[in-house]
Amino acid sequence: MTVLVTGARGNIGRRVVTRLHAAGQQVRASARDKGTLTVPDGVETVGLDLTAPAGPDGAADGLDGFETALKDVDAVFLYATRGSAAPFLHAAKEAGVRHVVFLSSPASYEAAEFRGPIGRIHRAAEQAVAESGLDHTILYPSWLATNAHRDWGTAIRAGEPVELPYPAAQCVPIHPGDVAEAAVDLLLHDTHRSRMQILTGPESMSLDEAVATVGAVLGRTIPVRAISREDALARREPWLSAPVLESLLDSAAASVGRPAPVTNAVERITGRPARSLREWIGENRGEFENREDFEL
Ligand SMILES: NC(=O)c1ccc[n+]([C@@H]2O[C@H](COP(=O)([O-])OP(=O)(O)OC[C@H]3O[C@@H](n4cnc5c(N)ncnc54)[C@H](OP(=O)(O)O)[C@@H]3O)[C@@H](O)[C@H]2O)c1
Protein backbone atom coordinates (compact mmCIF):
# COMPACT_ATOMS: atom_id res chain seq x y z
CA MET A 1 0.00 0.00 0.00
CA THR A 2 1.33 3.45 -0.93
CA VAL A 3 0.19 6.53 0.99
CA LEU A 4 0.76 10.07 -0.22
CA VAL A 5 1.19 12.46 2.73
CA THR A 6 0.75 16.09 1.68
CA GLY A 7 2.19 18.75 3.97
CA ALA A 8 4.86 16.29 5.08
CA ARG A 9 6.78 18.98 6.96
CA GLY A 10 3.60 20.10 8.76
CA ASN A 11 2.98 19.68 12.45
CA ILE A 12 0.63 16.72 11.90
CA GLY A 13 1.83 15.66 8.43
CA ARG A 14 5.37 14.85 9.54
CA ARG A 15 4.05 12.70 12.39
CA VAL A 16 1.84 10.84 9.91
CA VAL A 17 4.91 10.17 7.72
CA THR A 18 6.93 8.84 10.66
CA ARG A 19 4.16 6.54 11.88
CA LEU A 20 3.34 5.13 8.46
CA HIS A 21 7.00 4.46 7.80
CA ALA A 22 7.44 2.82 11.21
CA ALA A 23 4.43 0.62 10.35
CA GLY A 24 6.29 -0.61 7.27
CA GLN A 25 4.10 1.19 4.71
CA GLN A 26 5.26 2.72 1.42
CA VAL A 27 5.16 6.47 2.03
CA ARG A 28 5.41 9.30 -0.47
CA ALA A 29 5.93 12.60 1.33
CA SER A 30 5.15 15.87 -0.41
CA ALA A 31 6.00 19.53 0.10
CA ARG A 32 5.96 22.49 -2.20
CA ASP A 33 9.73 22.72 -1.72
CA LYS A 34 10.79 19.09 -1.53
CA GLY A 35 14.49 20.06 -1.40
CA THR A 36 14.08 21.20 2.19
CA LEU A 37 12.00 18.23 3.33
CA THR A 38 13.59 15.88 5.90
CA VAL A 39 12.10 12.37 5.95
CA PRO A 40 13.13 8.97 7.34
CA ASP A 41 15.33 6.81 5.08
CA GLY A 42 13.20 4.93 2.58
CA VAL A 43 10.49 7.58 2.31
CA GLU A 44 10.09 8.95 -1.20
CA THR A 45 9.65 12.72 -1.64
CA VAL A 46 7.76 14.69 -4.28
CA GLY A 47 7.31 18.40 -4.94
CA LEU A 48 3.58 19.07 -4.94
CA ASP A 49 1.46 22.21 -4.84
CA LEU A 50 -2.11 21.11 -4.21
CA THR A 51 -3.44 24.31 -5.76
CA ALA A 52 -1.48 24.02 -9.01
CA PRO A 53 -3.67 23.83 -12.12
CA ALA A 54 -4.00 20.44 -13.78
CA GLY A 55 -1.50 19.83 -16.53
CA PRO A 56 1.67 18.04 -17.49
CA ASP A 57 4.27 17.31 -14.86
CA GLY A 58 6.01 20.58 -14.08
CA ALA A 59 9.55 19.61 -13.13
CA ALA A 60 10.75 22.97 -14.42
CA ASP A 61 9.35 24.87 -11.46
CA GLY A 62 10.54 22.32 -8.92
CA LEU A 63 7.19 20.50 -8.76
CA ASP A 64 6.65 16.91 -9.81
CA GLY A 65 3.05 17.24 -10.99
CA PHE A 66 -0.05 15.34 -9.96
CA GLU A 67 0.58 12.26 -12.07
CA THR A 68 3.96 11.56 -10.50
CA ALA A 69 2.74 12.37 -7.00
CA LEU A 70 -0.28 10.06 -7.36
CA LYS A 71 1.25 7.10 -9.20
CA ASP A 72 0.14 3.85 -7.50
CA VAL A 73 -1.21 5.77 -4.49
CA ASP A 74 -3.96 4.05 -2.48
CA ALA A 75 -4.65 6.70 0.18
CA VAL A 76 -3.90 10.41 0.68
CA PHE A 77 -3.44 12.50 3.83
CA LEU A 78 -4.65 15.95 2.79
CA TYR A 79 -4.31 19.48 4.20
CA ALA A 80 -6.68 22.39 3.57
CA THR A 81 -5.28 25.00 1.20
CA ARG A 82 -6.22 28.60 0.55
CA GLY A 83 -6.67 28.03 -3.18
CA SER A 84 -8.72 25.24 -4.73
CA ALA A 85 -7.34 21.70 -4.72
CA ALA A 86 -10.14 20.52 -7.05
CA PRO A 87 -7.82 19.68 -10.01
CA PHE A 88 -5.57 17.66 -7.68
CA LEU A 89 -8.59 15.81 -6.26
CA HIS A 90 -9.87 15.09 -9.76
CA ALA A 91 -6.44 13.67 -10.63
CA ALA A 92 -6.53 11.57 -7.45
CA LYS A 93 -9.89 10.10 -8.43
CA GLU A 94 -8.59 9.36 -11.92
CA ALA A 95 -5.45 7.75 -10.46
CA GLY A 96 -7.57 5.30 -8.46
CA VAL A 97 -7.01 6.67 -4.94
CA ARG A 98 -9.30 4.72 -2.64
CA HIS A 99 -9.48 6.97 0.46
CA VAL A 100 -8.61 10.52 1.52
CA VAL A 101 -8.10 11.54 5.14
CA PHE A 102 -8.63 15.29 5.21
CA LEU A 103 -7.38 17.39 8.15
CA SER A 104 -10.02 20.07 8.64
CA SER A 105 -10.94 22.33 11.56
CA PRO A 106 -13.94 22.65 13.88
CA ALA A 107 -13.99 26.26 12.58
CA SER A 108 -15.78 24.70 9.65
CA TYR A 109 -18.92 24.16 11.75
CA GLU A 110 -18.56 26.04 15.08
CA ALA A 111 -21.16 28.81 15.39
CA ALA A 112 -18.64 31.53 16.27
CA GLU A 113 -16.25 30.68 13.43
CA PHE A 114 -17.85 29.07 10.43
CA ARG A 115 -18.61 32.39 8.71
CA GLY A 116 -15.08 33.69 9.38
CA PRO A 117 -12.02 33.17 7.18
CA ILE A 118 -10.85 29.93 8.84
CA GLY A 119 -14.33 28.45 8.56
CA ARG A 120 -14.70 29.53 4.93
CA ILE A 121 -11.35 28.06 3.85
CA HIS A 122 -12.06 24.71 5.47
CA ARG A 123 -15.66 24.50 4.25
CA ALA A 124 -14.55 25.23 0.68
CA ALA A 125 -11.86 22.56 0.95
CA GLU A 126 -14.37 20.05 2.35
CA GLN A 127 -16.75 20.82 -0.47
CA ALA A 128 -14.00 20.18 -3.05
CA VAL A 129 -13.25 16.81 -1.43
CA ALA A 130 -16.96 15.89 -1.43
CA GLU A 131 -17.43 16.99 -5.06
CA SER A 132 -14.41 14.93 -6.16
CA GLY A 133 -16.39 11.76 -5.51
CA LEU A 134 -13.45 10.36 -3.54
CA ASP A 135 -14.19 8.21 -0.51
CA HIS A 136 -13.01 10.32 2.45
CA THR A 137 -12.97 10.91 6.19
CA ILE A 138 -12.77 14.44 7.55
CA LEU A 139 -10.81 14.95 10.77
CA TYR A 140 -11.82 17.70 13.20
CA PRO A 141 -9.14 17.90 15.86
CA SER A 142 -9.61 20.08 18.92
CA TRP A 143 -7.00 22.59 20.21
CA LEU A 144 -3.58 21.23 19.26
CA ALA A 145 -1.30 21.01 22.32
CA THR A 146 1.47 22.42 20.12
CA ASN A 147 -0.39 25.77 20.29
CA ALA A 148 0.97 26.05 23.85
CA HIS A 149 4.52 26.43 22.62
CA ARG A 150 3.57 28.30 19.43
CA ASP A 151 1.56 30.94 21.34
CA TRP A 152 3.15 31.02 24.79
CA GLY A 153 6.65 29.54 24.41
CA THR A 154 8.47 32.86 23.99
CA ALA A 155 6.92 34.42 27.11
CA ILE A 156 7.39 31.29 29.21
CA ARG A 157 11.05 30.90 28.23
CA ALA A 158 11.65 34.58 29.02
CA GLY A 159 9.93 34.25 32.42
CA GLU A 160 7.32 36.80 31.39
CA PRO A 161 3.54 36.59 31.91
CA VAL A 162 1.48 34.86 29.25
CA GLU A 163 -0.95 37.43 27.87
CA LEU A 164 -4.45 36.12 27.23
CA PRO A 165 -7.37 38.17 25.89
CA TYR A 166 -9.84 35.54 27.15
CA PRO A 167 -8.18 33.58 30.00
CA ALA A 168 -11.44 31.76 30.79
CA ALA A 169 -11.98 30.59 27.19
CA GLN A 170 -12.28 26.81 27.10
CA CYS A 171 -10.21 24.45 24.99
CA VAL A 172 -9.66 20.69 24.81
CA PRO A 173 -5.92 20.20 24.20
CA ILE A 174 -5.16 17.21 21.99
CA HIS A 175 -1.76 15.53 21.66
CA PRO A 176 -0.61 15.96 18.02
CA GLY A 177 0.56 12.35 18.07
CA ASP A 178 -3.02 11.22 18.75
CA VAL A 179 -4.24 13.11 15.66
CA ALA A 180 -1.49 11.48 13.60
CA GLU A 181 -2.21 8.00 14.97
CA ALA A 182 -5.91 8.30 14.23
CA ALA A 183 -5.10 9.55 10.72
CA VAL A 184 -2.76 6.60 10.11
CA ASP A 185 -5.41 4.10 11.20
CA LEU A 186 -7.94 5.69 8.84
CA LEU A 187 -5.44 5.74 5.97
CA LEU A 188 -4.69 2.04 6.38
CA HIS A 189 -7.94 0.45 7.55
CA ASP A 190 -11.64 0.58 6.74
CA THR A 191 -12.92 0.03 10.26
CA HIS A 192 -13.34 3.64 11.47
CA ARG A 193 -13.74 5.38 8.13
CA SER A 194 -16.84 7.57 8.11
CA ARG A 195 -17.89 11.00 6.90
CA MET A 196 -16.03 12.62 9.81
CA GLN A 197 -14.24 12.00 13.10
CA ILE A 198 -14.20 14.66 15.84
CA LEU A 199 -10.91 14.07 17.66
CA THR A 200 -10.36 15.62 21.07
CA GLY A 201 -8.09 15.35 24.05
CA PRO A 202 -9.42 14.01 27.35
CA GLU A 203 -10.65 17.18 29.09
CA SER A 204 -11.92 20.69 28.58
CA MET A 205 -10.03 23.38 30.48
CA SER A 206 -9.71 27.15 30.43
CA LEU A 207 -6.69 28.71 28.73
CA ASP A 208 -5.36 29.92 32.08
CA GLU A 209 -5.66 26.35 33.40
CA ALA A 210 -3.69 25.20 30.36
CA VAL A 211 -0.96 27.73 31.19
CA ALA A 212 -1.02 26.50 34.81
CA THR A 213 -0.58 22.93 33.52
CA VAL A 214 2.60 23.98 31.71
CA GLY A 215 3.77 25.61 34.95
CA ALA A 216 2.96 22.50 37.00
CA VAL A 217 5.13 20.36 34.69
CA LEU A 218 7.97 22.91 34.73
CA GLY A 219 7.71 23.25 38.52
CA ARG A 220 7.06 26.98 38.59
CA THR A 221 4.14 29.37 38.50
CA ILE A 222 3.64 31.00 35.13
CA PRO A 223 1.83 34.31 35.54
CA VAL A 224 -1.10 35.13 33.24
CA ARG A 225 -1.97 38.69 32.33
CA ALA A 226 -5.47 39.33 30.98
CA ILE A 227 -5.35 41.78 28.07
CA SER A 228 -8.11 43.46 26.08
CA ARG A 229 -9.22 42.31 22.64
CA GLU A 230 -7.82 45.57 21.25
CA ASP A 231 -4.40 44.88 22.80
CA ALA A 232 -4.44 41.33 21.41
CA LEU A 233 -5.11 42.72 17.93
CA ALA A 234 -2.40 45.34 18.35
CA ARG A 235 0.13 42.64 19.34
CA ARG A 236 -0.78 40.32 16.45
CA GLU A 237 2.07 38.11 15.21
CA PRO A 238 2.95 38.81 11.55
CA TRP A 239 2.14 35.21 10.48
CA LEU A 240 -1.46 35.70 11.58
CA SER A 241 -3.70 37.93 9.45
CA ALA A 242 -6.01 40.37 11.24
CA PRO A 243 -9.24 38.67 9.99
CA VAL A 244 -7.95 35.26 11.14
CA LEU A 245 -7.03 36.64 14.57
CA GLU A 246 -10.47 38.31 14.80
CA SER A 247 -12.07 34.94 14.07
CA LEU A 248 -9.94 33.18 16.71
CA LEU A 249 -10.88 35.88 19.24
CA ASP A 250 -14.57 35.45 18.38
CA SER A 251 -14.24 31.73 18.99
CA ALA A 252 -12.43 32.27 22.31
CA ALA A 253 -15.03 34.83 23.46
CA ALA A 254 -17.87 32.42 22.64
CA SER A 255 -16.28 29.63 24.70
CA VAL A 256 -15.74 31.58 27.93
CA GLY A 257 -17.16 29.53 30.78
CA ARG A 258 -18.57 26.91 28.38
CA PRO A 259 -16.72 23.59 28.43
CA ALA A 260 -15.78 22.42 24.96
CA PRO A 261 -17.05 19.03 23.72
CA VAL A 262 -14.96 15.95 24.49
CA THR A 263 -15.23 12.77 22.37
CA ASN A 264 -13.79 9.29 22.75
CA ALA A 265 -12.91 9.07 19.05
CA VAL A 266 -9.15 8.83 19.69
CA GLU A 267 -9.64 5.78 21.91
CA ARG A 268 -12.18 4.21 19.57
CA ILE A 269 -9.87 4.56 16.59
CA THR A 270 -6.43 3.96 18.11
CA GLY A 271 -7.45 1.63 20.98
CA ARG A 272 -5.67 3.93 23.48
CA PRO A 273 -7.08 6.77 25.57
CA ALA A 274 -6.28 10.27 24.34
CA ARG A 275 -3.16 11.70 25.96
CA SER A 276 -3.32 14.76 28.21
CA LEU A 277 -1.80 18.21 27.82
CA ARG A 278 0.37 17.40 30.84
CA GLU A 279 1.78 14.41 28.97
CA TRP A 280 2.65 16.46 25.89
CA ILE A 281 4.26 19.22 27.95
CA GLY A 282 6.24 16.58 29.89
CA GLU A 283 7.58 15.11 26.63
CA ASN A 284 8.53 18.57 25.36
CA ARG A 285 9.46 20.53 28.48
CA GLY A 286 12.81 21.44 26.92
CA GLU A 287 11.03 23.77 24.52
CA PHE A 288 9.65 25.76 27.43
CA GLU A 289 12.97 25.73 29.29
CA ASN A 290 15.07 26.86 26.35
CA ARG A 291 16.80 23.51 26.09
CA GLU A 292 17.21 21.49 22.92
CA ASP A 293 15.30 18.31 23.72
CA PHE A 294 12.07 19.41 22.05
CA GLU A 295 10.60 16.55 20.05
CA LEU A 296 8.94 17.84 16.91
N1 LIG B 1 -3.94 24.73 15.75
C2 LIG B 1 -5.05 24.13 16.15
O3 LIG B 1 -5.41 24.13 17.34
C4 LIG B 1 -5.92 23.42 15.14
C5 LIG B 1 -7.06 22.76 15.59
C6 LIG B 1 -7.89 22.10 14.66
C7 LIG B 1 -7.56 22.12 13.31
N8 LIG B 1 -6.43 22.78 12.91
C9 LIG B 1 -6.14 22.78 11.46
O10 LIG B 1 -4.99 21.98 11.23
C11 LIG B 1 -4.31 22.51 10.10
C12 LIG B 1 -2.91 22.89 10.52
O13 LIG B 1 -2.22 21.70 10.85
P14 LIG B 1 -0.66 21.74 11.17
O15 LIG B 1 -0.43 22.45 12.45
O16 LIG B 1 -0.14 20.37 11.01
O17 LIG B 1 -0.18 22.67 9.94
P18 LIG B 1 1.23 23.24 9.56
O19 LIG B 1 2.31 22.72 10.44
O20 LIG B 1 1.07 24.72 9.42
O21 LIG B 1 1.43 22.63 8.10
C22 LIG B 1 0.58 22.97 7.04
C23 LIG B 1 1.02 22.15 5.82
O24 LIG B 1 0.13 22.44 4.75
C25 LIG B 1 0.88 22.37 3.56
N26 LIG B 1 0.30 23.18 2.51
C27 LIG B 1 -0.27 24.39 2.63
N28 LIG B 1 -0.66 24.85 1.40
C29 LIG B 1 -0.29 23.89 0.50
C30 LIG B 1 -0.39 23.78 -0.91
N31 LIG B 1 -0.93 24.76 -1.68
N32 LIG B 1 0.08 22.66 -1.51
C33 LIG B 1 0.66 21.68 -0.77
N34 LIG B 1 0.79 21.72 0.57
C35 LIG B 1 0.33 22.84 1.20
C36 LIG B 1 2.24 22.94 3.94
O37 LIG B 1 3.20 22.35 3.06
P38 LIG B 1 4.57 23.10 2.59
O39 LIG B 1 5.67 22.35 3.26
O40 LIG B 1 4.58 22.94 1.12
O41 LIG B 1 4.50 24.52 3.05
C42 LIG B 1 2.43 22.49 5.38
O43 LIG B 1 3.25 21.35 5.51
C44 LIG B 1 -5.06 23.73 9.64
O45 LIG B 1 -5.95 23.37 8.61
C46 LIG B 1 -5.79 24.15 10.91
O47 LIG B 1 -6.92 24.93 10.68
C48 LIG B 1 -5.60 23.41 13.77
Give the tens place of pLDDT for each residue, 162-186: 999 999 999 999 999 999 999 999 9
Residue 24 has a CB neighbour count (10 Å cut-off) of 9
* Widest distance between CA atoms in the chain: 57
pLDDT > 90? residue 54: no
CATH architecture of 145-173+201-260+275-296: 3-Layer(aba) Sandwich (3.40)
What DSSP state is assigned to residue 79? E
Q: What is the mean pLDDT of the chain?
A: 95
Q: Do 2-141 and 145-173+201-260+275-296 show the same overall fold?
A: yes
Report which of 182, 190, 171, 191 is spatially closest to residue 266, judged by C-alpha positions.
Answer: 182
Rg (CA), the chain: 19
Residues with CB under 6 A from ligand 1: 6-7, 9-13, 31-32, 48-51, 79-81, 103, 105, 118, 141, 143-144, 147
Q: Is the dihedral of CA 286, 291, 295, 296 positive or negative?
A: positive
Closest residue by Cα to atom 14, ligand 1, is 11
Closest residue by Cα to atom 28, ligand 1, is 81
How far apart (Å, rounded) are the C-alpha atoms in residues 225 and 218?
Answer: 19
Domain parsing of the chain, residue ranges: 2-141, 145-173+201-260+275-296
Task: Give whole-number Cα distances, 258 to 105, 115, 200, 205, 206, in Å.
Answer: 19, 20, 16, 9, 9
Closest residue by Cα to atom 1, ligand 1, is 144
pLDDT > 70? residue 55: no
2 pairs with which residues across the strands? Answer: 26
Distance 10 CA to ligand 1 centre (A): 6
- In this prediction, residue 53 carries a pLDDT of 84
For 2-141, which CATH superfamily applies? Answer: NAD(P)-binding Rossmann-like Domain (3.40.50.720)
**Over the stretch 86-115, which tens digit does the pLDDT of each residue have?**
999 999 999 999 999 999 999 999 999 999
